[in-house]
Amino acid sequence: MRHPEPFLAAHGYAAAAREPLPADASFRRYIRLRGGPRPALLMDAPPPEDVRPFALLARHLLAAGLSVPAILAEDAAAGFLLIEDFGEQNHARLLDAGADPLPLYEEAAEALAALHGVSPPPGLPVWDAAAMGRATAATFLDWWWPAAFGRAAPEAVRAELDEALHAMLAPFAGARGFVHRDYFPANLMRLPEREGARRTGILDFQDAALGHPAYDLVSLVEDARREVAPAVRRAAIARYFAARPGLDRGQFLAAMAAHGAQRHLRVAALWVRLAVRDGKPAYLRYGPLCWGLLARSLSQPACAPLREFLDRHVPDELRRNPAPEL
């Protein structure tokens, strides 16, 4: 932990009790502060993290009426933020404790529809076929491929994967708007005292971009870390469409299949990078789920280009995580 004492003291939290929260896959750390002027979290974001995108987007989304943490104090140069504390009831914790998933997923879908109705601020990066291709190569080819085959991915394979992803995703390039890019239960808070879309608090939006909204919905209902029952998945999708009645349902579902295939392949390989590069092998346990979700996506017509690429280069018996000892 770095030394946030001057920052905390300047804003009335010098004597606050500190409770570190569980770390995620990033370099950010969060500390719950008890005993200060109001409940708050300290975000400690050392390089290469940057608190400025979070602060910018938080203010933008708050102004749009969504439930995101208010920024209480900021020292961008030092990498510290004080943010509103929404408490401990995130959707993941509630689900793990046995809560009924149906209302949680329906509320999350309603909040997501509201998020997708917000005009994005200027300067967001683009999450298009080219960006998704680079992100997929950075996990699947740079980390999964050497672990599976014992050698680097050939340049010809890199070119083929890029072409396959572009062919799969380009048909949906016209529907571009605000996307969260990591919309799943651990980043969602239950706020029962609020109403409508504001009942769901939204966290970790600092990597938001301009992309297809199907990416976020598939992130929610085809979670890389937990099974979502088919009935719950259907109900969440129905709630989302009810909140956005102008969408072309068939086109949107095809976009979900295509963006889901890209996401599942990228994230399945991300677990390998976290294990090998970052010394976090526990993430490998999510591999079978991601590969299973990928197989389901690949059965859809919209995913034919990626399916054909994998059929050429990755036999079925290798479509899995490597052994945990890696």
Q: Over 70: is that where the pLDDT of 326 sits?
A: no
Integer angstrom CA distances of residue 256 from 103, 183, 190, 235: 22, 14, 25, 15
Calpha distance 84→31 (Å, rounded) = 12
Classified by CATH at the fold level, domain 5-84 comes out as Phosphorylase Kinase; domain 1 (3.30.200)
Segment 244-291, tens digit of pLDDT: 999 999 999 999 999 999 999 999 999 999 999 999 999 999 999 999
Q: How many residues does the chain have?
A: 326
Q: For the chain, what are the domain ranges? A: 5-84, 91-318
Calpha distance 114→164 (Å, rounded) = 32
List the structure tokens of 41: 């979290």
| DSSP symbols for 291-309 | HHHHHHHHTSGGGHHHHHH
Does 91-318 carry CATH code 3.30.70.260? Answer: no
Segment 142-200, tens digit of pLDDT: 999 999 999 999 999 999 999 999 999 999 998 889 999 999 999 999 999 999 999 99
Q: Which of 238, 208, 201, 173 is nearest to 92 (CA)?
A: 201
